[in-house]
Structure 1
Amino acid sequence: MSIVTRFAPSPTGALHLGHAWSAVQAHSRAREAGGRFLLRIEDIDGTRSRPEHVEGILADLRWLGLDWDGEVVFQSQRLALYADALARLEAMGLVYRCICTRADIAAAASAPHGVGGVVYPGTCRGRSIDPARPHCWRLDMGRAIERAGPLDWTDEIAGTVAADPAMHGDVVLARKDAPSSYHLAVTVDDAAQGVSHVIRGRDLFEATHVHRLLQALLGLPTPVYRHHALLAGPDGERLAKRHGAPSLADLRAGGMDGKTLAMDLKAGRLPLGFGAMNA
């Protein structure tokens, strides 16, 4: 089997070392196997995505010495694929309209807590919602699990994992302000692009339970996954935009050599003073 990996950042800010760590792993895995490495820009969040961040992503990857195969794919140009997948799920009776706000959900006494915080209590499930009202689309998790049956996936670090999407409740598949959620778009895109190996951070491990369910419902192939360890800064906090992680653009402007950085990351090393692996 020819290995196909991908790097799929969102252009909502500058890339940092954590992004580089993930991109280098995906790139190395493909190149060492004689496979293909794809670049996908996940830009369906129209309120936060910026063209200048897209240019920054391309510049950062070139600085690291990472090349990609084929044209860069933009999710904003693939909305028809997501609409078709949602329509298929609707035809199965597995999705419903929801008009609840975050405040509504947080205030619901019946709302349980899951891995990502408050789990939607199903307030709009079974309700008749005027299509003209602003609404999102939610997956009826109970019906979906019943239809799909027991599922698992292979993670190169965790081994065989039994899918447990119920922990997420009735997840959103299309938002009020966006034509698709991350869950639906990434599942559809990985299948459409023939991605065989999904290499991404451990912070997305739990989301894979939902992605495996959607693959089964839509008749899509299941890639092999590798949810790698995250990077932590000197303060022990995960490297992330919200924690003020240094951007690759800042490192580039400071004179750091990108190809050397990529080689260090591939070897499991971080520049002195930049934190630790395996966080």
Structure 2
Amino acid sequence: MTFTTRFAPSPTGPLHLGHAYSALLAFDMAQAQQGRFLLRIEDTDTGRSRLAWEQQIYEDLTWLGLTWEHPLLRQSEHLPHYNAALMKLAERGLIYPCSCRRSDIKAALSAPQEGVPLAPGVYPGMCRHRKMDTRQSGDALRLNLGHALKTLGPLNMIETGAKHSGTHQLDPKQLMRDVGDPVLGRKEIETPSYVLAAVIDDAAQEITHVVRGEDLYQTTFLQMVLQALLDLPTPIYHHHGLIRDEQGKRLAKRDDARAISKYRADGVSPSKIRTLVGL
């Protein structure tokens, strides 16, 4: 199968040096394998996505010297595919409606916990008893992760990154502790979460290698669960290191000082960007 990878930004702010590193690394890997490099616009967050940010993504990546196949995939144009996957999970009793607010979750987490201790901010499952026919307007849809894991056998991830290289088996207890029951549909069923939409798109685009930051390592195991539940192929993963600021914090879109567009405006060359990110 042809080596195929993708860069999948969300048009919710400016691309920064961390994005440049991930995109360039994926592009270089595809070029080295005489493979395919795809660009995907993950714009399901309708409240924050902007066409102006999307246009700047194209401009920044073109300036960096990247090319990609057309037409590219915009997630907002493929909502029925994600909804169909949600319905498959619903038919198997694997998702449930959730009306909890952040304040509800915070209060529940502050109470004494039974069973496996949860990582900070992990949803403790207050709505897990609810059935889909109790869903009301505004409810999110969550995966019952514990129930889902019981339906699956062992899951292995093939990793090519320097830090995690090799084959790694998913640890169900660790995933429950660190991730919990994730949201797969936000508010209305027509708005899928990132973890679900990315799994559907990776399969549809025949992605063989996913190049992403090491901060998404646990997310990868969650997506492997969804791939197994939906009978979709699991790509090979390459988790790279993160570009950090002087204080050691990973860059975020709000860190405009390291936006690619600012380097462009200041006359920095694309080759200098490669040097700055260690390529």
- Whether these two folds match at TM > 0.5 is yes
Percent sequence identity over matched residues? 47
Measured against aligned partners, the alpha-carbon deviations of 1:59-88 in whole angstroms (never above 9, x if no partner) come to: 000000000022121010110110011000
Matches of residues 44-55 of structure 1 in structure 2 within 5 Å? 44-55=44-55
| 8 Å contact from structure 1 (residues 65, 262) kept in 2 | no
TM-score with structure 2 length normalisation?
Answer: 0.90
Deviation at 1:256, TM superposition (A): 1.1
| 8 Å contact from structure 1 (residues 24, 265) kept in 2 | no
Deviation at 1:245, TM superposition (A): 4.3
1:124 aligns with 2:127: yes
Equivalent residue, structure 2, for 1:144: 148
For 1:144 and 1:37, locate their aligned partners in 2 and report how far apart those are by CA, in whole Å.
33
For 2:64 and 2:106, locate their aligned partners in 1 and report how far apart those are by CA, in whole Å.
43
1:188 aligns with 2:200: yes
TM-score with structure 1 length normalisation?
Answer: 0.90
Equivalent residue, structure 1, for 2:272: 261
Instruction: Indicate the SS of the match to 2:195.
Output: helix
For 2:46 and 2:274, locate their aligned partners in 1 and report how far apart those are by CA, in whole Å.
34
User: Residues 243, 89 of structure 1: CA spacing in aligned structure 2 closer, same or farther, 3 A cutoff?
Assistant: same
What RMSD in Å do the two structures reach over aligned CA positions?
A: 1.7
| 8 Å contact from structure 2 (residues 4, 37) kept in 1 | yes
| 8 Å contact from structure 2 (residues 13, 254) kept in 1 | no
For 2:126 and 2:245, locate their aligned partners in 1 and report how far apart those are by CA, in whole Å.
41
Equivalent residue, structure 1, for 2:243: 231
Instruction: Indicate the SS of the match to 1:5.
Output: strand
Aligned length: 265
1:163 aligns with 2:175: no
Equivalent residue, structure 2, for 1:275: none
Instruction: Indicate the SS of the match to 1:14.
Output: coil
| 8 Å contact from structure 2 (residues 21, 274) kept in 1 | no
Q: Aligned partner of 1:140: which letter?
A: N
Question: Aligned to 2:217, which of 186, 189, 205?
Answer: 205
Measured against aligned partners, the alpha-carbon deviations of 1:215-268 in whole angstroms (never above 9, x if no partner) come to: 10000000000000001123332222234441111110111112x1354368x2
User: Residues 110, 130 of structure 1: CA spacing in aligned structure 2 closer, same or farther, 3 A cutoff?
Assistant: farther
Deviation at 1:150, TM superposition (A): 1.5
Deviation at 1:102, TM superposition (A): 1.1
For 1:133 and 1:143, locate their aligned partners in 2 and report how far apart those are by CA, in whole Å.
25
Query: For structure 1, which runs of at least 5 residues remain unmatched after alignment?
Result: 270-279
For 1:32 and 1:265, locate their aligned partners in 2 and report how far apart those are by CA, in whole Å.
21
For 2:102 and 2:50, locate their aligned partners in 1 and report how far apart those are by CA, in whole Å.
25
